Amino acid sequence: MPSVSQANIFKEANLVFGVSGSGKSSTINNLCGEEICKVGDDESSVTQNCKLVCVERKNSTFYGKYFLDMQGYNDTRPEHNQAKIFETMKLYFLESDITIIKSIIFVINISEARTNFYRRFSEFLAQLFQKDQVESNSIVILTKGDRLVPEEKEQKIESIRKSLSELVANYGWPAMQIIEWSNKKGKALPNQEDKLYNAIQQLNGFNLKTVLKEVEKEIELKVQDLYDSPDNIITLKHAAKQELKEFQTDRQVEDHIVINCDRIEYVTVPAQTEERTSIAVKLVHFSGHIADEAGDVGKTFMNIFGTVGGILGTNYIVSALTGRDYFTETKDLQFDHKVTSITFDKTPADIRLLDRLDYTIDPTDQRRVKVSAYLSWGGSPVLSWDFDMRVTATLKQTVVTREEYKNKVVIPQQRIEKIIKTVTDTEQRLVTVKEAYEEKIHKRTKEEIKKLLIQERINKLS
């Protein structure tokens, strides 16, 4: 269970208040399902100090909710005891970090209730909180009704309702819910826990900052004084710290450098060629007649005697008289490439009157060739020639396999230049990087001092 020292985790709580022995602690124990708060008899006040309780019964409607069991109020208690209660409550709120009071639950022993107890409770708490905060966030729980006979219990409840109605009518109080409650084990009244939960949920609650402002300021001032006091401070002296550091100095010096100034030239690389051989064939036609080719005398005889002379043998007479006649027929041929040699598919044996075949390659243009057929007539009866001949030429072609190009040639050259350059000299020196200083260490934190201070004051008030 949470204790007074468990601070900074509780933000909202329900304040359980009542006269000594009214059943405050029993009601909280009932909600928790176990005895957390000590319980006394009807007149004694066992709760001598505040106690914060968290409901951890998982099947409870109030699981995880917080209830503050207050010291019992008794109107016969001396006035200074009431002041002690208020002081203790403030200190407890401050320590436990409670900032919201969700509800004020007045626990009343139904058999002991008097008609003016509501006003007395309200006036008592109004000395700590604002009056309207108390009146607007209060719930009445009536306990120990099981000790009365039904008729008497109903009369008591009716009297209490009447008193509350008068407060509403005469003093402008808001309507206050009344819940009958039983703390007897195994004899809880029907839905009593749900009724209390719903009643609390309808309330707005109020903030404690205004209530705690004065005491909080007082505590904080005291905390600051104790925090800064010599008894809470340990002084550590630290010597100066030195380190070996490098320092650099620049100076100018003369030097020489070699500069490359290569010269670039472009050299023409000739094209690369390749000789390729091919064959080309052309068809040449030769034709002619002796009469067309003979001399004047021969023509005369040929015209006179003609073919008859050849048959009768008179042509031989003519040939004997005039001599053997020679004839040459020439053909000009043009090829695509240079001609290296020529062959013929005809020979003198194949053609009558043909003595030989020959060719001449033009030296100025070797693609051009003259093909000549040399013929002669010596009196034979054949007087003409007419034949086709295939001329086969062997050609040579020069093919460029790589074009001419320019080749870049770098000719190394250098020159020496004088320069001024910066040289950095490095030296090491011992320097102070941190001056001597004093470090103050606090033995206790402000939060620790605050807890101790509050606890001491609570103990003095107990």
Span 49-76, mean pLDDT? 80
Exposed / middle / buried, residue 124 (Cβ in 10 Å: 0-12, 13-18, 19+): middle
Highest mean pLDDT among 1-5, 18-22, 250-254: 250-254
- Average pLDDT over the chain reads 82
Write out the two tokens for 297.
């005398």
Round to whole Å and give the CA distance between 120 and 459. 28
DSSP code, position 444: S
Distance of CA 167 to the CA centre of its chain: 67
- Rg (alpha carbons) of the chain, rounded to whole number: 70
**pLDDT recorded at residue 308:** 44
* pLDDT, tens digit (0-9, with 9 covering 90-100), for 102-141: 999 988 888 776 656 667 777 777 777 888 888 889 899 9
What angle (nearest 5°) sits at the alpha carbon of residue 390, between those of residues 386 and 392?
A: 150
Whether the CB-CB separation of 333 and 367 falls below 8 Å is answered with: no
Helix intervals (H) in 174-272: 192-201, 209-228
Look up residue 24 and give its DSSP letter. Answer: H
Determine which helix (DSSP H) or strand (DSSP E) holds 236, and give its type and residue range: strand 233-238
- For residue 343, give the amino acid letter: T
Crossing angle for the helix pair 117-126 and 150-171, to the nearest 10 degrees? 50
Secondary structure element (H or E) that encloses residue 417, with its range: strand 414-434
- Tens of pLDDT, residue by residue over 386-437, are 999 999 999 999 888 888 888 888 888 888 888 898 999 999 988 988 899 8
CA distance 62 to 195: 12
Domains of the chain (ranges, CATH numbers): 12-227+447-461 (3.40.50.300), 243-261+413-435 (no CATH), 272-402 (no CATH)
Please determine, for residue 321, whether its predicted confidence score (pLDDT) is greater than 70.
no
pLDDT tens track for 143-160:
888 888 888 888 888 888
**For the residues 258-271, what does the mean pLDDT come to?**
88
The pLDDT tens digits of the residues spanning 190-242 come to: 999 999 999 999 999 988 877 778 788 888 899 999 999 999 999 999 898 98
User: What confidence score (pLDDT) does residue 371 get?
Assistant: 96
pLDDT band at 331 (very low <50, low <70, confident <90, very high): very high
The answer to whether 146 and 187 have CB atoms below 8 angstroms apart is yes
Tens of pLDDT, residues 338-396: 999 999 999 999 999 999 999 999 999 999 999 999 998 887 788 889 999 999 999 99
More confident residue, 321 or 61: 61
Position 351 scores a pLDDT of 92
11 versus 247: the higher-pLDDT residue is 247
